[in-house]
Amino acid sequence: MSKLNGILHVVDFKTERIVTAIRPDDYWDDKRHWEIKNNVDTLDFTVFDGTKHVISLMQQNLVLKQVRDGRIVPYVITEIAKDTEKNSLTVYASAEWILLAKAGYIKPQRMESKTAYEFASLALAGTEWEIGNIEYAGFHTMTIDEFIDPLKLLKDTAALFDLEIEYRVEMLGSRIVGRYVDMVKKRGRETGKEVTVGKDLKGIVRKENSQNICTALIPFVKGEEDKLITIESVNNNLLYLVDNDAFQRWSKDSKHKYGFYTPETEDQNMSPKRLLTLTKTEMKKRVNASVSYEVDAAAIGRVFGLNHELINEGDTIRIKDTSFKPRLYLEARAIAGDESFKDPEQDKYVFGDYYEIVDQSEELRKMYNRLISSLGSKVGKDLLEQLEKQVNESIKENEKKIEQIKEESETAKTLAEKVEENLKNYQTAILESENPPTTGLIVGRTMWQDISNGKPGVLKRWTGEVWDVVVPDVAAQVKAVWEKTEKALEGRVTSKQVEDYVSTFQIPELKNNVTKQKEDLLNEIAERVAVKDYNLKVTDLERKILANERGIELSAKRDEIYLKEDIDGTFAKVSYIKQLEAKLQILDEGILAEVKKGNIISVINQTAEKIKIEAELIDLVGKIEASWLKAGLLQGMTIKTSNEKEYIHMANQVLKFVNQDTAKITIGFEDEHKSKSLNPYIILGQGDGTGRNVGTIYKDGNGVYYRYIDNNGLESNMRLTAQGNVGITAQTSMWLNSNGTLVVDGGYGVSLKHLGKTVAEFIQVNGVNYDLLLGGNHIIRSSTFPGYDKLLQVKNSTGNEFRGIEVAEVTAHGGIRSDTNLWAEKDSYAMQHINRSTIRLKTALHDLPFSALDKIRELKVKQYFLKRDMYELYQMRMSKPEDRIEPYTTKDIDIQYGFVAEETDDVFTTPEKDGIKLYSTLSILTASVQELEQKHDDEIQELRQKHEQEIQKLKEEYRVENEKINQRIDEVKTVVENLINNKG
């Protein structure tokens, strides 16, 4: 795989064409996060705002990134964050396949005995995605209970078949030509790579989680009609399975920790015994704390250019950390990760599907140290040193064997691939039934076990006309056949036999054909390994010569049939058939020669009119003479047209007509010169250095042909440069006139120059910005991009800053907006001045930290004249009309009233002390009025309270005085009554 360049290609989501390419120098803070389990894949990166790339970084556009395993992954932009302080734009994108969640719907239904391919076809129907590589994983049944989206169906399919999903796109030029969904049994590679903390890794975090631990597991499955299936009937009337060791470790107060388990299956008739077996397997996973590892990678593969050491998605590696106590030796698979192209130091991976490897050498060393400690006082030092020497030699010998095993693993892998190929070509199923099969019959390969007379039955093979008996159901006949053809009967091939077989090979000398010899050896070993599971081999040899009135036929045929006979005398359901056949027929109408090996056939058929050869490869050595030649495909060739140095040469998509060893006409493609286009070219003749006799016929992307020609050389009026440019020069004048439309189109813009300097340049950027560049200094831009399509922009030459305009008068029928200030040297008129004061513009709101009334009281209002008005007064005096008698005075100009900014408190002025902020002044004035009103209200309230108190006091005094008077009156009444009574 080629080295990654880190370029991000942005694709317009409507046209699906690449509109810009962002190089690594133009972005930073990039991070790709991926997870295998849920197919999570996100991409974040940051660019400078105002660059040419920003205009295309809009939501729903795609970003294409080539990831480490070579795939091109499409990301859809979901969010954009603009930071005005840092003048940057951060793009957040997710994998494009998340859009499948909204691409359609799947109705509730039940699909029985379908393959993963069929489920994927249903999910992707009507979408932009196509089925890619779907590995075969058998048949399964799925019930969809509710409406779901295509993305969920794909995930459910992968989970059901125990496959992993991989998405990718394919490009042709600048267009996306295909989106594919692959399902494989396991992503990533078995790298065999061993990484070490401090070298490849910055550190390991080992996390243990005991949340899911249980000591008693309760399994159950819903069967037909929602009947509950448990293990009670096969588990001593207990509903749960117990692990005694886990109970001793994890129980508290002798109480179980219960867990529940339901296997993922569609088997509604699962037996309790089968459920118990699955529960025992699950129980082993729940008795220990779950362990996960988080790794910070140094990414040495990219830091030092060692691409073969990069960690890809799903790769299985070995991790070694001797700082752990005890030392950690871990084999794990990368299941999630964060990757950065710009900063490899930020790479981080999460590993799962792991198991810890016990270092046997380390364990032996520990045992040895314990033994030495226990024997130190009992055995002599010389014996201990001798023992230590033997142990060290044993460890070194083990390390050598490990290296030898690693080297031999590659050969084993190649051998396994060849075995798989042989099984694919020659293995076939054995059909067992009472009646002969009638469909799917393949001559010489279809096997039928006839059990019409009972088992084990008779094994037969289809010849094309009849069922030929291969192995009859008679033990004696089988034994006789075995003894008669003992060379054709071979037993099971064990690993030891393969080793002994290989050891018999002799290589007398090493020549250039060593590779071929090795290939032959591997083929022969693969053949034997492919049939090692079969314990019976039947070889059928047939040699015959036929001569009759039609002609003569010679044939030789050998069929090797490998079978596996079980103990009960029946045959297994799979056989391995290898057919070799050669045939020659000489007939009145022609000659037919045929050679066949399995499904590979080569045929030569000769008649009076023609000779037809059919073969995977026809290797002809020497010259071929033909008066007429027709071919479907010719690769790299030279056609000689005479005995002189004249010929036609074709190679690498380039056709050359050569005369005297010089190419006079060349036809090819521009990508021959590493151009990004795919346009063809034709070169006629060869120049002599002056530019004459050179011409090109060119076809553009729309299929239109153009002709460029140079009549008079480099100084002519019409010329073609070495770079493919066309120049036309008029000595006096040049004019262009069209009765219809005049179109001027330039791939990188259209320029107007005067005396060699560019006056104006017309440019379109990304199909949304249409610029007029004036003098290389200012751009007048008309944009169709949403949010910018209502205004005409004036910017600098690079388009990342706005520039001003100077005019006599501006009439706006809509409005005038400014991101900064509006200036006026004289009066400003408006129906109403409105200050923007929405909460959307404000933050950190607080009450005034000072007294607004005090600030207003400190203001000093002055009477003054403007210097501009005073200057006009002087001009009026200098140009006073002769008929005017009275002089001009200050009464003839306006008197102004206001504040002097330099003498006014900062809360009312601009930071530069060159103006008064009227909105702030009005606001503080309002606050001062409120403050004054509050102060007066407080004083009035205080007076009211004081008056109320005085009134209450007077009322109390009146009450007391009134009581005293009443008391005196009562006393007087009493005295009077006493006097009256005494007189009586």
Report, as an integer, the average pLDDT of 7-30: 90
Task: Round to whole Å and give the CA distance between 364 and 377.
Answer: 21
- Specify the length of the chain in residues: 984
- What amino acid is encoded at 62 in this protein? L
Task: Round to whole Å and give the CA distance between 809 and 453.
Answer: 111
Report, as an integer, the average pLDDT of 398-427: 61
* pLDDT value of residue 712: 45
Task: Round to whole Å and give the CA distance between 741 and 519.
Answer: 69
Cis upstream peptide for 456 (omega within 30°): yes
| Greater pLDDT, 649 or 65 | 65
Where residue 324 falls among pLDDT bands split at 50, 70, 90?
low
User: How does pLDDT run across 911-961, given as a tens digit for each residue?
Assistant: 888 888 888 899 999 989 998 988 888 889 989 999 999 999 999 989 999
Do strands 769-774 and 778-783 pair parallel, antiparallel, or not at all (unpaired)? Answer: antiparallel
* pLDDT value of residue 615: 72
Where residue 98 falls among pLDDT bands split at 50, 70, 90?
very high
* pLDDT value of residue 422: 59
User: How does pLDDT run across 105-118, given as a tens digit for each residue?
Assistant: 999 999 888 899 99
Two tokens, residue 335: 């299941």
* pLDDT value of residue 55: 86
Tokens 């790339």 sit on residue = 53
**Residues 896 and 889 sit within 8 Å (Cβ to Cβ):** no
Residue 836 has pLDDT above 90, yes or no: no
Task: Round to whole Å and give the CA distance between 227 and 262.
Answer: 14
Residue 218 has pLDDT above 90, yes or no: yes
User: How does pLDDT run across 643-702, given as a tens digit for each residue?
Assistant: 667 878 777 677 888 887 787 788 876 554 444 555 566 776 655 444 444 445 545 555
Report, as an integer, the average pLDDT of 780-790: 84
* pLDDT value of residue 334: 81
Report, as an integer, the average pLDDT of 9-28: 90
Task: Round to whole Å and give the CA distance between 750 and 233.
Answer: 88
User: How does pLDDT run across 347-364, given as a tens digit for each residue?
Assistant: 888 777 665 665 556 666
The mean of the pLDDT values for the chain is: 75
Least confident segment among 112-126, 194-208, 329-343: 194-208
Where residue 390 falls among pLDDT bands split at 50, 70, 90?
low
Two tokens, residue 975: 């005295």
Task: Round to whole Å and give the CA distance between 331 and 328.
Answer: 10
* pLDDT value of residue 530: 54
Question: b/e map of 433-442 (b: 16 or more CB within 10 Å)?
Answer: eeeeeeeeee
Closest CA to 653 of 639, 640, 634: 634
| Greater pLDDT, 733 or 704 | 733
Report, as an integer, the average pLDDT of 52-62: 87
Residue 548 has pLDDT above 70, yes or no: no
CA-to-CA dists, residue 611 to 581, 587, 593, angstroms: 21, 14, 11
CA-to-CA dists, residue 478 to 136, 138, 434, 486, 579, angstroms: 37, 35, 21, 12, 21
Report, as an integer, the average pLDDT of 606-612: 71
Where residue 230 falls among pLDDT bands split at 50, 70, 90?
very high
Closest CA to 445 of 560, 570, 594: 560
103-184 belongs to CATH 3.55.50: yes
The pTM of the full predicted model, rounded to 2 decimals, is 0.37
Residue 49 has pLDDT above 70, yes or no: yes
Burial of 461 (0-12, 13-18, 19+ CB in 10 A): buried
* pLDDT value of residue 561: 59
Question: b/e map of 479-507 (b: 16 or more CB within 10 Å)?
Answer: eebeeeeeebebeebeeeeeeeeeeeeee
pLDDT over 70, % of the chain: 66
pLDDT over 90, % of the chain: 16
Task: Round to whole Å and give the CA distance between 803 and 622.
Answer: 76
CA-to-CA dists, residue 270 to 208, 234, 262, 275, angstroms: 34, 13, 12, 7
* pLDDT value of residue 980: 87
User: How does pLDDT run across 240-297, given as a tens digit for each residue?
Assistant: 999 888 887 777 788 888 899 988 766 667 889 989 989 998 888 887 766 666 666 5
User: How does pLDDT run across 134-168, given as a tens digit for each residue?
Assistant: 988 888 888 888 899 999 999 999 988 889 999 99
CA-to-CA dists, residue 338 to 9, 35, 42, 80, 488, angstroms: 20, 9, 10, 20, 59
Residue 738's H or E segment, with its range, is none
**Residues 907 and 924 sit within 8 Å (Cβ to Cβ):** yes
Where residue 427 falls among pLDDT bands split at 50, 70, 90?
low
* pLDDT value of residue 565: 52
- What amino acid is encoded at 478 in this protein? V
